[in-house]
Structure 1
Amino acid sequence: MKIIVIAAGSGKRLGESTKNVPKYLIKVNKKTIMEHQLDVFKKIPYENFIVITGPHKEKFTLNNITYVEDKNYPQHDILGSLMEARNYISGEVLIVYSDIIFDDNILSKIVESKSDIGIAVDMSWEKGYEGRTEHPRSEAENVSVNGDDILKIKKNITDENNIGEFLGILKLSAKGSKIFVKKFLELEGTHVGRFHDAPSLQKAYLTDMIQELIDSGIKVNPIMISGKWCEIDTRQDLERASRLFI
């Protein structure tokens, strides 16, 4: 298994914390987000840990990591940055956001999934938005679930039942990796204009690509998780993470 972390974002909403350091390297208590994630990933066998970097790439100094620089990060959002590492999307792959911390139970559930394309989903997500005024519920990356299928994924789904939140972890089998890359290459060669909720393919989120797969008739499964996790997007989030992950 390979692990790919998309860490090219600047984390502007965290203010001074990310002025001269990548978001992935801000500290939650005494460890960076990267170190928190690595501590969890040590519990599973993996062959390569890949980090996609953007601004302040020189701050990444840990060894035994494959660093892929997104030299065009100002023109990209999450999907564009991820596909700078397209050569590593083969075999079994975990694609992970760089602003989340999660516990061992969540990772175990994801790794056990037999889906070709599966995304981690929390159905008890709304409690995580209590008091979260700087990053309200309307900014959640929601998913509409029907049994073993994801029907829709986008921010702020309010008009459907069985709504969960996408954690920011995508698991691909070897077959799933081929499907994902093939679909992106098709789009890269032909698509112009808006791409789902994004202004363009290169400025798209990972959720836009997942929705494209669904709309193309490709099955995307929910991996239902329960456990301790948090997203760190604002100062409020950082304070909450510091309470949850001592």
Structure 2
Amino acid sequence: MTQAILLGAGRGSRLDAERGAGPKWMLEVEGQPLAQHLVNVLHAHDVTNILLVRGALGGTVLSPSVAYADVLDSPNMLHTMQQVRHAVRDDVIIAYCDLLLEPRVVRQLLKDSSDAAVVVDRNWASLFALREDDPISIAESCQIVDGRLTEIGQPLVEGRWPEAQYVGLMRFSQKGFRELMTLYDELEVTTAGQSWRNAKSFSAAYITDFLQAAIDHGIPLTAVTIEGGWLEFDTPRDLALARRLPSEPKPLIFDPATLPSHPSVLSAGGVAVRGLGASREVLLVGSGEAGGWRVPKGMLESGEAVEVAARREVQEETGVPVAIDGSAQCEEWSYEYGGRRWRERCFFYPMAALEDATPTPDGEHSVAAWVSGSVALAGMRFPEERRVVERVLS
């Protein structure tokens, strides 16, 4: 499993006029806030455990399963990350909240299996030329040897062109993250009261300074190289660039058409089966009439794990305690609610009842019952749920 932490505690003062009262990651592009696009893309790659770190300006995304942590006194991304380190329990993606990412970028990062991976863009000059009249003025160093970073985020040396640019997107194994946090603790002590790298003190240092320190201390950082597919938002010019891209016939640096078009929600449930052979029965809810049967399921609550939500929803809707008995199957569909179109991604688990309890429906359904396999397959309300039942029974 991979979780994600989105760092959004900063103010984004250069976009004060555009962002209004909220943080800059709530600025809308293509009809959705920046952070919502990140959530949608992560959900599409089965990254379900997402923690969004907010600052004093607050803010929310539309997906109800996203959890929040409020860090009100952090000077920058590095120290925000450190303050939520306790939340890291799996491999973790760390991303700045003021990014747009094409799905291919996240997909490429997830393919990497190293303990510490940092995404860098080799086609950075094409993007930076649109962001600034003098693109080299906003560039920083980046050197790669044998697939590993040897230098990142430092002032440029004349005549030494950077090979790529840091994107603000990383992935660490649990081991890799612990190693970095150990280094953080050491540096916090050994640099106290001193200027450090490009900052007046370690407490004011940037993540790229810290990544360079990791390299210098022998921690290998894999360079996950991309060719475009990302945007960041520091200035009004960045925002204007993103908003005009959809009108361009073939955008070369970022394709907005690749973004999921609707906000995503996550749900989970399960197909509990009892009996053997032709006598197998499936635990279902619904109206009790043909064409009205449903698999018990429901939306994830904020910060809830998928497996926990699946068990909770089945027990709440049927009154039968259950245990997961296999790997999840995923189905997707779209629907209208509250004047908006949503994309739902649901994880269905094979399950077994933990006791011989009589099914009892909750207030959402008229009936909860053990239904024969043949009746279940013939009477499901939705084709997506019928496919799930069919696969579990087969």
The normalised TM-score by structure 2 is 0.58
Instruction: Say if 1:122 and 1:226, in contact at 8 Å, map to a contact too.
Output: yes
SS class of match (1:202): helix
SS class of match (1:42): helix
Task: Tell me, in whole angstroms, the C-alpha distance in 2 between the residues paired with 1:28 and 1:119.
Answer: 25
Judged with a 3 Å threshold, the aligned counterparts in structure 2 of structure 1 residues 47 and 36 are, in CA distance, closer, same or farther, namely closer
Instruction: Quote how far apart the aligned CAs of 1:131 are.
Output: 3.7
Instruction: Say if 2:123 and 2:228, in contact at 8 Å, map to a contact too.
Output: no
Instruction: Say if 1:14 and 1:235, in contact at 8 Å, map to a contact too.
Output: yes
Partner of 1:189: 189
Instruction: Say if 1:68 and 1:84, in contact at 8 Å, map to a contact too.
Output: no
CA deviation digits over 1:199-218, x for unaligned, max 9?
A: 22221111011011001011
Unpaired runs of 5+ residues, structure 2, are 246-255, 258-394
SS class of match (2:203): coil
* One-letter amino acid of the counterpart of residue 241, structure 2: R
Instruction: Quote how far apart the aligned CAs of 1:198 are.
Output: 1.7
Instruction: Quote how far apart the aligned CAs of 1:195 are.
Output: 2.3
Instruction: Quote how far apart the aligned CAs of 1:121 are.
Output: 1.0
Partner of 2:201: 200
* One-letter amino acid of the counterpart of residue 34, structure 2: I
| 2:167 maps to 1:167 | yes
CA deviation digits over 1:117-164, x for unaligned, max 9?
A: 110011111011224237843223441111212111114534435620
* One-letter amino acid of the counterpart of residue 185, structure 2: L
Instruction: Say if 2:119 and 2:225, in contact at 8 Å, map to a contact too.
Output: yes
SS class of match (2:179): helix
Instruction: Quote how far apart the aligned CAs of 1:227 are.
Output: 4.2
Judged with a 3 Å threshold, the aligned counterparts in structure 2 of structure 1 residues 155 and 136 are, in CA distance, closer, same or farther, namely farther
Judged with a 3 Å threshold, the aligned counterparts in structure 2 of structure 1 residues 107 and 4 are, in CA distance, closer, same or farther, namely same
| 2:127 maps to 1:121 | no
Task: Tell me, in whole angstroms, the C-alpha distance in 2 between the residues paired with 1:99 and 1:142.
Answer: 21
SS class of match (1:163): coil
Task: Tell me, in whole angstroms, the C-alpha distance in 2 between the residues paired with 1:191 and 1:91.
Answer: 30
Partner of 1:41: 42
Which residues in structure 2 correspond to 1:104-119 (within 5 Å)? 104-119=103-118
| 2:177 maps to 1:177 | yes
Task: Tell me, in whole angstroms, the C-alpha distance in 2 between the residues paired with 1:156 and 1:236.
Answer: 23
Judged with a 3 Å threshold, the aligned counterparts in structure 2 of structure 1 residues 133 and 47 are, in CA distance, closer, same or farther, namely closer
Task: Tell me, in whole angstroms, the C-alpha distance in 2 between the residues paired with 1:140 and 1:89.
Answer: 31
Judged with a 3 Å threshold, the aligned counterparts in structure 2 of structure 1 residues 164 and 61 are, in CA distance, closer, same or farther, namely closer
Instruction: Say if 2:36 and 2:61, in contact at 8 Å, map to a contact too.
Output: no
Task: Tell me, in whole angstroms, the C-alpha distance in 2 between the residues paired with 1:21 and 1:84.
Answer: 22
Instruction: Say if 1:138 and 1:156, in contact at 8 Å, map to a contact too.
Output: no
The RMSD of aligned alpha carbons is 1.9
Which residues in structure 2 correspond to 1:43-192 (within 5 Å)? 43-57=44-58, 59-60=59-60, 62=62, 63-73=64-74, 76-133=75-132, 136-158=135-157, 159-160=159-160, 163-192=163-192
Query: For structure 1, which segment, 107-116 or 196-205, has the greater mean C-alpha deviation from structure 2 after superposition?
Result: 196-205
| 2:29 maps to 1:28 | yes
SS class of match (2:53): strand
Partner of 2:361: none
Instruction: Say if 2:9 and 2:72, in contact at 8 Å, map to a contact too.
Output: no
Task: Tell me, in whole angstroms, the C-alpha distance in 2 between the residues paired with 1:35 and 1:162.
Answer: 31
Task: Tell me, in whole angstroms, the C-alpha distance in 1 between the residues paired with 2:61 and 2:16.
Answer: 23
* One-letter amino acid of the counterpart of residue 115, structure 1: S
* One-letter amino acid of the counterpart of residue 85, structure 1: V
* One-letter amino acid of the counterpart of residue 167, structure 1: V
Task: Tell me, in whole angstroms, the C-alpha distance in 2 between the residues paired with 1:236 and 1:80.
Answer: 28
Instruction: Quote how far apart the aligned CAs of 1:70 are.
Output: 1.0
Same amino acid, percent of matched pairs: 26
Instruction: Quote how far apart the aligned CAs of 1:29 are.
Output: 3.1
CA deviation digits over 1:7-53, x for unaligned, max 9?
A: 01111111312241101111113111011111211221224201111
Partner of 2:229: 228
Task: Tell me, in whole angstroms, the C-alpha distance in 2 between the residues paired with 1:106 and 1:26.
Answer: 21
* One-letter amino acid of the counterpart of residue 42, structure 1: H
* One-letter amino acid of the counterpart of residue 49, structure 1: I
The normalised TM-score by structure 1 is 0.91
Instruction: Say if 2:122 and 2:228, in contact at 8 Å, map to a contact too.
Output: no
Task: Tell me, in whole angstroms, the C-alpha distance in 2 between the residues paired with 1:135 and 1:85.
Answer: 36
Query: For structure 1, which segment, 37-46 or 103-112, has the greater mean C-alpha deviation from structure 2 after superposition?
Result: 37-46
Instruction: Say if 1:90 and 1:178, in contact at 8 Å, map to a contact too.
Output: no
